[in-house]
Amino acid sequence: MSNAPAHDVTRWLLTASERDNPDTRIDDAHPGEQAWSTGNLVRPLVDGASYFAELHEVLEATTEGDLIMFAGWRIDGDQQLTDAPSSRLLAVLDRAENRNVHVRVLVWRSHTEQIDFSAEKNREVAEELADDDDEHAEVLLDMRVRRGGSHHQKFVVVRHQDDPSRDIAFVGGIDVAHSRRDTSDHHGDPQQQALADEYGPSPGWHDVHCAITGPAVADVETVFRERWEDPDPLTPAWHSRLRDRLSRVKDEPTPLPPVQPRPEPVDGGTHVVQVLRTYPHRHLRRAYPFAPRGERSIARAHLKAISQARHLIYLEEQYLWSSTVTLALAEALRSNPELHLITVLPHRPDLSGMAELLQLEGRFEAIAQLEEAAPDRFAAYGIENHAGWPVYVHAKVVVIDDWYATIGSDNINRRSWSHDSELAALVVDESGTDHSPFARSLRLRLAAEHLDRPLSGPEHDAAMDDCVPAPGMFAAYAAAGAELQAWRDGGMVGRRPAGRLRPVTEPDIGRWPRRVLEVPQRLFGDPDGRPFSLRRRHDY
């Protein structure tokens, strides 16, 4: 046994006073409790195939009186959760309804598919379940967002009426939709959603979710209940309301089943979990009752952790926009000469044309800022599969100093920190003394995949020894990335080197195009949802 003093895990968490709106908090549903819960067990689910398989097992095991709460940015009803055709999402939910399971779905109403969004796909799910005429199932198309925004949260909660020990919540970046059911080999989901041509005929998709058991399940459930019970109309558009009525899609929610007691702590559960969220300030419409001035606890938690970082910040991130957000990372690098920052990004945006240029403009500025702050301690990589096709990185993971670890729907940009609805689980393992075992194992699991090393077992532990210290991880990524890039530059002669990492190379679209794109990127790509008082103070 170690005699080292226990680490103060609360330094990585937000106190009630540090969170937005302390008078209307998640923990108000359970008076007298802290702004986080203990006694939980959280398991990372890396890549969509692992998440979907577990989700399928949990949904199929529900029985009469159980409650499924499902929230997403996009949902494809025909998406298979496993290789079996019978695992189509709507078929699974239909079977649950037939067992008298309560099924409630909140899906973003979405912008039109003419600009590459999912309005019709999401509506198909709502209409198909509405046609079933089953009182146990209900889908709401939710547009209660700030103008131009989205409900970007992706989570599922399952409560069991007769066995609360089986209650579970899934939180992260993975929607149950086409392209997401990929394995860690990254040869793509058989059911594809088109991406930019650079990703090939069967794009690989890298993502991360997590499974939570223990008291924190009730905190995730509260997020769903607050949104479900929001009295604001589901959409302000009269034509959408008319179409809902003609297609029998619900235009207002029916009451949810009563709240069940908070799940008991898990035997051996050492994970402290804090549920973090983003909601915009809806100043032109009725405010969210649960977040009158919006909520930015994701931004606040990240900024607090970044200010304490001393060794390694590890990000897996879809965008990395917003120089106003990455300024905090740049300042941390300048202030701490031993701090390293590694980020894993998509090699290219998922869309072509103007959408690609807008994304590249924002990312170019952020990467340039970080490279200037610490050129020898910052590195950005993309990943590819063994066939040489780039893999789209959709993960949203932050690990800082092997203590602070979040898995969620939020990206490192102003939109995710202030404008769209987001949800993340902050996990700190209180069993550690010099690190959080959860944070370190998550970081090394992801690194093992990208370096082509064993993903689990004793072989994994031995293979990842060099990556435990921050300089070792930085060096391992740099060596693997340089070797693979040199092999490609040399005409791919000889055996392909191990690893899937290559340095991200930002195409310089030119000074004047960047200037022209800067305004639309700030207004549409990366808008600000904070109250004006916080904008003036450059605060969250």
Q: What is the mean pLDDT of residues 350-378?
A: 84
The two beta strands, 67-72 and 102-108, are parallel
Which domains, and CATH codes, for the chain?
38-268 (3.30.870.10), 277-537 (3.30.870.10)
Helix (H) or strand (E) holding 519: helix 511-520
* Alpha carbon separation from 429 to 10, 41, 89, 169 (Å, rounded): 11, 9, 33, 18
* DSSP codes joined into one string, 265-291: PPTT--EEEEEEEEE---TTSPPBTTB
- Answer yes or no: are the C-beta atoms of 93 and 194 closer than 8 Å: no
Half-sphere exposure (CA, 13 Å, Cβ side) for 78?
7
Q: Extract the tokens encoding 267.
A: 């035997």
* Alpha carbon separation from 121 to 76, 351, 375 (Å, rounded): 6, 18, 44
Residue (of 306, 274, 289) closest to 540 by Cα position: 306
* Alpha carbon separation from 149 to 40, 300, 522 (Å, rounded): 32, 20, 13
Q: What is the pLDDT of residue 134?
A: 61
Which residues are CB-contacts of 9 (< 8 A; sequence separation ≥ 6)? 272, 403, 428, 429, 430, 436
Tell which wins on pLDDT, 251 or 84: 84
Which range is least confidently modeled, 28-37, 330-339, 405-414, 460-469?
A: 28-37
The pLDDT tens digits of the residues spanning 15-68 come to 988 875 543 444 444 443 468 999 999 999 999 999 999 999 999 999 999 999
Residue 107 sits at φ, ψ, to 5 deg, of -125, 140
Q: Extract the tokens encoding 512.
A: 């004047």
Spatial distance between the Cα atoms of 151 and 226, rounded to a whole number of angstroms: 13
Q: What is the pLDDT of residue 33?
A: 45
Q: What is the pLDDT of residue 29?
A: 42
* Alpha carbon separation from 453 to 74, 146, 448, 462, 464 (Å, rounded): 33, 44, 5, 10, 8
Which range is least confidently modeled, 116-130, 163-177, 403-417?
A: 116-130
The pLDDT tens digits of the residues spanning 478-496 come to 999 999 999 999 999 999 9
* DSSP codes joined into one string, 144-209: -S-TT--B---EEEEE-SS-GGG-EEEEES--SSTT----TT----SS-----GGG-SS-EEE-EE
Tally of residues, the chain: 540
Q: Is the pLDDT of residue 352 over 80?
A: no
The average confidence (pLDDT) of the chain is 89
